[in-house]
Amino acid sequence: MSEPKGTSEPKGMLSRRELFRLSAVAAGAGILAGCDVAGGGGNAGGQGSGEGKIKALFMQQAAYSEADIRNMTADFQKANPKIQVEPTFVAYDALHDKIVAAAPAGTYDVVLIDVIWPAEFGTKKIVTEVSGDVPAAWQSGMLGGALTTAKYQGRFYGVPWILDTKYLFANTELLGRAGVDPVSLSTWDGVLAAARALKDKRVIEYPLLWSWKQVEALICDYTQLVGAFGGKFLADDGRAVAFNTGGGLAALEFMRRTLDEKLTNPNSLESVEDDVRKVFSEGGAAMAINWTYMVSAADDTANSKVAGKVAVLPTPSGPSGGPGVNGSMALSVTSGSRNQKAAWRYVSYLTSAEVQNKYAKNSLPCWAASYDDRKVVEANPKVVPVAKKQLASLIERPQVPRYNEISQLLQAEIQNALLGRKSPRQALDDAAAQAKPLVA
């Protein structure tokens, strides 16, 4: 076919002049964009009238269920008819990034923050400081582990709402078949011995299951073991990393040993807490550590094959005792919120002892007095006695503004060790070398 006459250039191609114009526009865009970086701005948030619409961001994973939160919110709106709350739910692993991405626009008025974020969100002013608003009675009435959740360098950036740590769950039927007494699971040595017995008697191929996917869940499990083996993430002055020596190293060596002995299910490396819950509920694991919400989930006959066969035990002890990882979370008012007054009312309501006690089934209250509240104990006959003991001793992940970067490095290097690509010592030394500039 011949080309139509008169078209020296094929259509769709840019002429030189057009290209020049386009570049000019692009350059203009660049200059405009440049003004924006240097220009001021900051957060356009404000107190607001205390009425109207607010948006809240929650997670859909562990602790209070979506239904719990919707019911709490409905009750709040009944009591405060002039405030409308629109809750949004995301997976835990998307929560941090969504808070960050939504911050400049002030999309959410209330956000759920994890215990590892106050340093970052506080110093970057993504959430508001509420030190002056938290009544003294709350500070004395809430448990210490809960209070740390919202605190950084003595200032409060939210109100504790979820007080959680990982407990040891055991399938009593499987243990019984191997002749293991659940009492022997009070130490990690006892857990190892039980796992070997379960494997030797062919009760189950892999007795142990963990949340070791390359996400924050891995660090939670690791932290719990670091505590048991007497390790520390940071040196006492907080300016140097310390996880590559002593208990930090022993914890990773323990993890690796359970894989080498084929006691830990290799699927652990692709599992988060909810995968552990599902497999445990199917009878696919004899022992696992997980958050409080697994108690009611695994004992629910509608969704679990092991209902009635679940033992909830304190996290096992190592040579240095048995602190649980502090996995608490708090509710914060964002600095971009244009209705901070209404947002604070909502936060105050959700975190009140009354509401926390009412929904204690999936998440234990942050208030000390709640643990002697008859209704709370009755709702959780299995956990409350264990929680009373374990919540008194918790281990924190490092509270530094650049925690996420340290966590990412650790996750990758711990998995290198778990997959046998590096020795535990080498992996942690490598992580430490990379993390060093992040804490100084």
| Residues lying near another protein in the complex (CB under 8 A) | 25-26, 29-34, 36-43, 93, 96-97, 100-101, 103-104, 120, 124-126, 205, 212-215, 265-271, 275, 278-279, 282, 284, 402, 404-405, 408, 411-412, 415-416, 418-419, 421
Q: How far is the CB of 271 from another protein (least distance, A)?
A: 7
CA–CA separation, 286 and 210 (whole Å): 11
Task: Tell me whether residue 38 or residue 137 sits nearer to another protein (CB atom).
Answer: 38
Task: Tell me whether residue 36 or residue 236 sits nearer to another protein (CB atom).
Answer: 36
Give the angle subtended at the CA of 375 by the CAs of 163 and 327, to the nearest 5°.
10
Task: Tell me whether residue 34 or residue 176 sits nearer to another protein (CB atom).
Answer: 34
Q: How far is the CB of 80 from another protein (least distance, A)?
A: 30
Neighbours of 82 (CB within 10 A): 10
Q: How far is the CB of 135 from another protein (least distance, A)?
A: 30
Report the first-to-last Cα separation within the chain, whole angstroms: 70
Q: How far is the CB of 321 from another protein (least distance, A)?
A: 31
Task: Tell me whether residue 214 or residue 317 sits nearer to another protein (CB atom).
Answer: 214
Tokens of 330: 């708090």
Q: How far is the CB of 380 from another protein (least distance, A)?
A: 28
Q: How far is the CB of 434 from another protein (least distance, A)?
A: 9
Give the angle subtended at the CA of 315 by the CAs of 309 and 318, to the nearest 5°.
135
CA–CA separation, 370 and 373 (whole Å): 5
Sign, CA torsion 418/204/298/193: negative
Task: Tell me whether residue 117 or residue 243 sits nearer to another protein (CB atom).
Answer: 117
CA–CA separation, 193 and 439 (whole Å): 38
Q: How far is the CB of 30 from another protein (least distance, A)?
A: 4
Task: Tell me whether residue 83 or residue 103 sits nearer to another protein (CB atom).
Answer: 103
Task: Tell me whether residue 36 or residue 237 sits nearer to another protein (CB atom).
Answer: 36
Q: How far is the CB of 408 from another protein (least distance, A)?
A: 6
Q: How far is the CB of 202 from another protein (least distance, A)?
A: 13
Task: Tell me whether residue 213 or residue 256 sits nearer to another protein (CB atom).
Answer: 213
Q: How far is the CB of 283 from another protein (least distance, A)?
A: 11
Task: Tell me whether residue 262 or residue 358 sits nearer to another protein (CB atom).
Answer: 262
Task: Tell me whether residue 25 or residue 67 sits nearer to another protein (CB atom).
Answer: 25
Q: Do 357 and 375 contact (CB within 8 A), yes or no? A: yes
